Amino acid sequence: MAAHSDIPFKRLPVKIIGTGSYVPERRLTNADLEKMVDTSHEWIIERTGIVERRIAAPDEYTSHMGTKAAQRALESCGLKPEDIDLIIVATITPDTFTPSTSCYIQDALGAKNAAAFDISAACSGFLFAMKTAVQYIGTGQMKTALIIAAEKLSTVVNWEDRSTCVLFGDGAGAAVLQASTGEEGEGSVLATDIGSDGSLHDLLQIPGGGSRCPTTAENAHERLATLAMRGNETFRHAVTRMKASAASVIERAGLTADDIQLIIPHQANLRIINAVAQRLSIPEDKVFVNIEKYGNTSAAAVAIAFDEARRSGRFGKGDNVVLVTFGAGLTWSAAVIRW
């Protein structure tokens, strides 16, 4: 008899069976920002591609937005909250440090059978959550997972810093994953990739508010608990890492750029999106962009875009779709899905 370690382990294939998204009602336009800081609509458009972004109401929390996106994802695949046995929430703007935002969402949904936890990978969070859910389902530990990316970035933006306040918005996206029958297609996750480089942690960060630099009466005026970014260096690393991550999953899925029907990149900056597509030799008409409506919603950005692309018919049965992201940490991630 073979030793236990010699017995081949068969992983279960995993598929996405539903998606959903939610954005707040309030629109903050470039014209509105012109009244707040020294900027202009033309300047913002030229450098970012953003026209407006959504801002959550004061009493609308990250968990509220995540719950609404999750409900829509469940509705899209006909499941009930009790059918979920794992909830993973990707966010850098949790309702509270503890308990986790996933626990608030579990309670709001009534997903009483689900284990729930948060992850923090900034803009790469949704695909980090996807990779994690694929591992749980693929090893047979869980049957049905709900992954959610939700952000209320308006609470961590310095609204006096014109270089960053024009970039960010609020929103949430979600997806439901299950083990598949083994047939490719129908939302099959063909390949995933995640990576990090902590030596570049200072390129994009919220330096204050944590245990390293708690907010105190003495430093509150410095607004250290808001987003700070070194834009030019972040741009360069974003393009390089996103291109490499996307190329990696395309190759591991046994595909080429010509086999990709749609790429859905992180919606951070239109110039970054265009540069990544060009380096991957993917034409403009195969790139999904909605940054003009929502700005950068961090972990939620690719999740919202994925749901919008699906619902609008930008991809269909048998199409190969690439999702790719980049975020603070530095982190990056990608996935190939055959629909």
Q: Which of 30, 64, 103, 296 is catalytic?
A: 296
Q: What is the pLDDT of residues 157-189, one digit of tens each?
A: 999 999 999 999 999 999 999 998 766 668 999
Give the chain's end-to-end CA distance (angstroms, integer). 41
Catalytic site includes residue 296: yes
Catalytic site includes residue 266: yes
Q: For residue 335, give the H/E element and its range.
A: strand 331-338
CB 257 within 8 A of CB 280: yes
3-state secondary structure of 97: coil
Neighbours of 22 (CB within 10 A): 25
Q: pLDDT in tens for each of the 339 residues of the chain?
A: 334 444 444 567 999 999 999 999 999 999 999 999 999 999 999 999 999 999 999 999 999 999 999 999 999 999 999 999 999 999 999 999 999 999 999 999 999 999 999 999 999 999 999 999 999 999 999 999 999 999 999 999 999 999 999 999 999 999 999 998 766 668 999 999 999 999 999 998 988 889 998 999 999 888 888 888 887 888 899 999 999 999 999 999 999 999 999 999 999 999 999 999 999 999 999 999 999 999 999 999 999 999 999 999 999 999 999 999 999 999 999 999 999
Catalytic site includes residue 274: no
**How far is it, in rounded angstroms, from Cα 182 to Cα 178?**
11
Q: Which of 30, 64, 165, 266 is catalytic?
A: 266
Burial category of 53 from C-beta neighbours within 10 Å (exposed 0-12, middle 13-18, buried 19 and up): buried
Residue 95, C-beta contacts closer than 8 angstroms, at least 6 positions apart: 61, 62, 63, 101, 104
Q: Which DSSP string do the residues of 105-135 spell out, in sequence order?
A: HHHHHT-TT-EEEEE--GGGHHHHHHHHHHH
pLDDT number for residue 5: 43
Same fold, 14-179 and 188-338: yes
Q: Mutual orientation of helices 62-77 and 101-109 as an angle, nearest 10°?
A: 50
Task: Compute φ and ψ for 325, nearest 5 degrees.
Answer: -140, 170
Q: Out of 3.10.20.30, 3.30.420.10, 3.40.47.10, 1.10.10.10, which CATH number does the structure's domain 14-179 have?
A: 3.40.47.10
Q: Where are the domains of the chain?
A: 14-179, 188-338
pLDDT number for residue 186: 81
Q: For residue 309, give the H/E element and its range.
A: helix 300-311
Residue type for position 80: K
**How far is it, in rounded angstroms, from Cα 128 to Cα 143?**
18
Q: Which of 123, 165, 269, 320 is catalytic?
A: 123
Q: What is the pLDDT of residues 32-84, one digit of tens each?
A: 999 999 999 999 999 999 999 999 999 999 999 999 999 999 999 999 999 99
Q: What is the pTM of this model?
A: 0.95
Task: Report residue 180 CA to chain centroid gap.
Answer: 23
Strands 320-327 and 331-338 turn out to be antiparallel
Domain covering 188-338, topology: Peroxisomal Thiolase; Chain A, domain 1 (3.40.47)
Average pLDDT value over all residues in the chain = 94
